[in-house]
Every structure is written in structure tokens, then in C-alpha cells.
Amino acid sequence: MINRDRLAETFMTLSSIDSVSRKEAKISDEIRKKLTPFADEILTDNAGEKAGSDTGNLIARIKGNRDVSSLMLNAHMDTVQPGVGVKPQFNNGVFTSDGTTILGADDKSAIAIILETLQILHENNLPYGPLEIVITICEEIGLLGAKNLDFKLLTAKYGFALDTADTECIVTRAPAANRFEFKVHGKDAHAGADPENGINAILLASQAISGLTLGRIDAETTCNIGVIEARGATNIVPNLVRIQGEVRSHDETKLENVTRKIVDAFENVVSDYRKEFETGELPRVEIDIESEFNRTFIPDDHPVVVLAQQAAENLDRQVITKKTGGGSDANVFFGKGIVTGVIGTGMKEIHSVRESIRIDDMEKTVRLLLEIIDVHSNGNASS
């Protein structure tokens, strides 16, 4: 039933349309056009206004022909840089870019797979229940599309996001994350003539960072500092430095404990300096902690897992549950009460100019998705 040439053509078309985060209007128009023959209703929400994009999330409702609960299918339409001027190549069953940009298999392979699945359901009059297709914007820059999605538009209580590599797994556990930013304020002075009158903000930030544990803290928890930024000149004692990073953990208590230790490290450094040198209000630190996303924890007996594993068994395949260190739209959906497992499309070396995907893996995911929808249409895994 799968039309391999059509699947390839759809993916090539989508990957040829530039859609870096906040510039998704053109790809959204193309997806809407391709959804129109199957959807009973297609909506664009106002998430773009909140996320700073030129369009919003696409939500397509398809009534189906079986009286079962709604099933959500999710992908995201935006890509990372370098993502302008993508020229997809297809050789020996493998899609790549021309080597100067990313390919966009993350996550346009998912969109192509969903579209091919819908086409097959439509042209073969197969059994399927109500489907809610949610294609988000700005996933790559903090899940902003999902975070600003109008969830009143959805009725599904569970579903699948197609946004990982492994076609033999379903991601059921993903960490929560906190993003942090510290601005350490010191005092400027001439670095050669009057350094004693300055307070070096970079030095203070470095002292705070030196006492931290970064990287993998334990099996459930990681911490990273990714940005240290200061502006000035070599002959000026720097009076401001900005530090950005994140903490992730599958254990929410550990997440908060590690975040607190980082905050304490910066607060103690500036406090100790003020006490030792009696400098008054300087140095000081501004602290901004933001919850990036909630954790995902799906029990093995949840309908999402049962559906995926039963469908795989019907295809003489195996789908195992998996824990990941990354976040996706699924984290946001889970936090809003829509339990969302993440399944793979086969994409490799994403976010690089070496990104690739095999048509065979995309076909494999279409088959799994068709079987999931068939099992769901029978009500075998409804909650």
C-alpha cells in the first residue's frame, strides 16, 4: 500500500522549503495544502504571535470511520540552522543535503510519514478512529510552539510524537529541565592604571563555576553551562558577565537540588566578596530560572505503549521502551495531560550538515503507524 515514490517526493518537497525556527509560514502553507484532501478541519492557532514566528501551529482534525477515542499525531515543522537553501539529494535510497546545510529530516521526515499514512488510509478506506494532527512551530528553540498551543482545540488524551531516530523504540521517559541565566555585576576601572578600584565580574563568575559539577552528575541528571558572555576591552576591568546553562533530570527533586546548588554558588561568591572588601551593593548577581519543560514518565501498561508494542508484534517486530536525555514537544503535551510516546523515523546525525535518512526507515515507520491506527480503531488499547 505504501507508495515509495510518493513518500520520497513528499519528503523532497518539504525539505526543499526553508523553515528555520520563526520562519515557518511557507512550509505551513505546503503542509496545509497536503492535509486538505484528508482533513475535516484545519486550524492555525495564535502561537506564532507569542513565539515570534510568522505563523502558528497547524491542527488538523480527521473524523475517522470508527467510534473510538481520538488519537493525536505530532511532528514539528521548524528546523535548525544552517537551514537556508536546502538542496536535498536522494541516492541509493538515502536522503542527504548537498553538504552545505542540514537536511531537515528532523522533523520533516515525520511530516512526510504522517502524510503518507493519511493518504493510504484515505485511498484504501481503511478503518481508523478520529485523528488530531498537530504540527508545531519553534520546537527547536525551546518547544515554543507546543508551549503556546491552544490545548482547548484538542480532545485526544494520548498520542505519538514522531521525533526521534530509533525505529525500534518508543520513548516513554524524558527529563524535566530548568534553564538558568546569571548576570554578575562588578565594577569597571582601567585595568592598567587603576585595577584596584574595579571588581572583575568574569573572575567572580569563574570562581562560582569552578565549584560546580558539570556534565553527567548521575544516571538521571546532567548539568551544562553553554554561554559565557562579556563585552568590553582588555584594558577595562569587566563590570558585567552573562552565564547561561541548564539542568536536566528524570528526578524532579534532584533537578531542584542541583539548580539550588548553582544559585547558591553565585550568590555566595558575590556575598563573600562584599563582606571581605566591604564594597557595599557591588558585586551583585541577577538570577533568572525558567522551567524549560516537565518530565515524561509513561507506565509500560499505558495505552500508548500497548498500542505501539501490539502494532509492532503484529508486524513481527519489536518496539522497546526507552529513556532519553532530550526533550521534545511530548514533554509539553504530557504536562498538559496528553500522554505522548515518541517514536522514531530513522533520521541520523541531525542538526549537522551530515544529516541523512533512509527511505527504508521511513517506510518502516509508515507501516508501524498504520498498524497503530488499525489497532486503535478496534478499541483494543483505549483508556
- pTM for the model stands at 0.92
Degrees (nearest 5) of the Cα angle 248, 254, 173? 50
Residues 284 and 328 in one domain: no
Contacts of 23 (CB under 8 A, 6+ apart): 53, 54, 78
Whether the upstream peptide bond of residue 82 has omega within 30° of 0, thus cis, is yes
Last residue of a domain, one of 263, 291, 319: 291
Residues 245 and 354 in one domain: no
Last residue of a domain, one of 291, 310, 343: 291
Alpha-carbon distance of 378 to 145, in angstroms, equals: 32
Buried-state track 313-342, b at ≥16 Cβ within 10 A, e below 16 = eeeeeebebbebeebbbbbbbbbeebbbbb
Residues 33 and 148 in one domain: yes
Amino acid 382: pLDDT: 44
The low-confidence residues of the chain, meaning pLDDT below 50, are 382-383
The CA-based dihedral angle spanning residues 24, 26, 27, 28, taken in that order and rounded to the nearest 10 degrees = 80
Residues 193 and 235 in one domain: yes
139 as an active site residue: the answer is: yes
Residues 78 and 89 in one domain: yes
Residue 17 counted as domain residue = yes
Residues 286 and 333 in one domain: no
Residues 363 and 221 in one domain: no
Residues 97 and 206 in one domain: no
- The CATH number assigned to the domain holding 188 equals 3.30.70.360
Q: Is 103 left (phi over 0), alpha (psi -120 to 50) or beta?
A: alpha
Residues 308 and 207 in one domain: no
Catalytic residue among 30, 45, 78, 106: 78
pLDDT tens digit string along 182-196?
Answer: 999 999 999 999 999
Residue 382 counted as domain residue = no
Catalytic residue among 106, 139, 166, 361: 139
Alpha-carbon distance of 376 to 66, in angstroms, equals: 9
Q: Judge contact between 260 and 204, C-beta under 8 A.
A: no
Compute CA 202 distance to the chain's CA centroid, rounded to the nearest angstrom: 32
- The CATH number assigned to the domain holding 54 equals 3.40.630.10
Residues 277 and 198 in one domain: yes
Residues 47 and 151 in one domain: yes
Alpha-carbon distance of 354 to 381, in angstroms, equals: 39
Alpha-carbon distance of 383 to 371, in angstroms, equals: 18
Residues 319 and 371 in one domain: yes
Domain span at residue 320?
Answer: 4-174+295-377
CA dist list (Å): 49 to 44, 143, 144, 294: 11, 14, 11, 23
Last residue of a domain, one of 291, 326, 350: 291
Residue 383 counted as domain residue = no
Alpha-carbon distance of 327 to 324, in angstroms, equals: 8
Domain tally for the chain? 2
